[in-house]
Structure 1
Amino acid sequence: MAASRAGPVGWQEVLRDPVQWLAFGFGTGLLPVAPGTWGSLLAAFLYWWLPPLPVPVQLAGLALAFVAGCVICGASARRLGVHDHGGIVFDEFVGQWLVLVVTPHTLAWYALAFVLFRLMDIWKPWPIREADHRLQGGTGIMLDDVLAAGYAALVVGGVQFLPLA
């Protein structure tokens, strides 16, 4: 187990430790500027290339990813000695993927879903901010992004029904 500390995390540490490799979004969490945004972008890119699956299958996969994320992000945070280190971006992957479940498979829609998810995750409207401050461990790390994804998914889903002619 890596020593607990709140300082910066390096590439070697992340490459050596499978938990950190996943928690840090395959290294995107190590980028010096906006690691959450980079993690979300990689998540959207990976999702774009997934074969189309029925929505129930996607949701089941996301439920498993959420549970795994609670364990992975919680373990990473404990090892680092920081509740929600900025480099832990596995939660962004799950949140971004959740929004993309309701997003049409075009670049314009993916761009909208990406921007809305990032805005909600950064802004943290109620009750996201409450969850972010009150819940600890991996569940707290994961849940605020799932809630942000819920808001973004509602907007993406709603916009699809607007008469934009």
Structure 2
Amino acid sequence: MYKLNINSIFVSVFGVGYIPFASGTFGSLAGLIIGYLIYLINYNLLFLAIPILFILGIIASDIYQNKTGEQDSKVIVIDEVVGQLIAMLTVLDNFLLLFLSFLIFRFFDIVKPWPASFFDKNMKNGKGVMMDDVIAGIYSLIILIIIEMCI
């Protein structure tokens, strides 16, 4: 078993990824909470946090996979956090839309429409782990922008 260290704490988002069921859902929920806390400090910090967490997520996921031999382990939920942060970018001031961002992101993360499915199936490294969730986050963001325009 891979020992608990700074890398496993990071990829599991402080242990959330070790929850034995629905780790992706709990990872997305952690992203919702983290994103909202960042928003309360300064909304613009999200635009710094997302690329930093994305790059660190690629590196840390590669390290975790190399150490454990597991590909896209359920323990790795930093990808869900980054995807959720993207999904919620425009709806942080509306709790109903914030909750909807969570549901829509989970839908796209589970269904994995192209090109998310390409990354999920063909890139068994940190980039693949992170990219399918980034794409799910972008799809969610687009849907939420359309919803906001219609309200």
TM-score (norm 2): 0.92
CA distance in 2, matches of 1:105, 1:135: 35
The equivalent of 1:34 in structure 2 is: 22
Confirm or deny that 1:116 pairs with 2:120.
Answer: no
Confirm or deny that 1:97 pairs with 2:85.
Answer: yes
Shift of 1:133: 0.8
Shift of 1:137: 1.1
Q: Per-residue CA shift, 1:11-66, capped at 9, x if unaligned?
A: xx33xx11001111111111111001001101101221222323xx5323211111
* Aligned-CA RMSD value: 1.5
Q: Identify which range, 98-107 or 67-76, moves more after superposition.
A: 98-107
CA distance in 1, matches of 2:13, 2:36: 17
AA at the equivalent of 1:135? M
Going by fraction, where is helix more abundant, 1 or 2? 2
* Paired-residue identity, %: 27
AA at the equivalent of 2:65? A
CA distance in 1, matches of 2:62, 2:12: 12
The equivalent of 1:69 in structure 2 is: 57
Q: Which runs of 5+ in 2 are unaligned?
A: none
One of 25, 42, 60 as aligned partner of 1:52: 42
Q: Which runs of 5+ in 1 are unaligned?
A: 4-12
The equivalent of 2:13 in structure 1 is: 25
CA distance in 2, matches of 1:44, 1:61: 13
TM-score (norm 1): 0.84
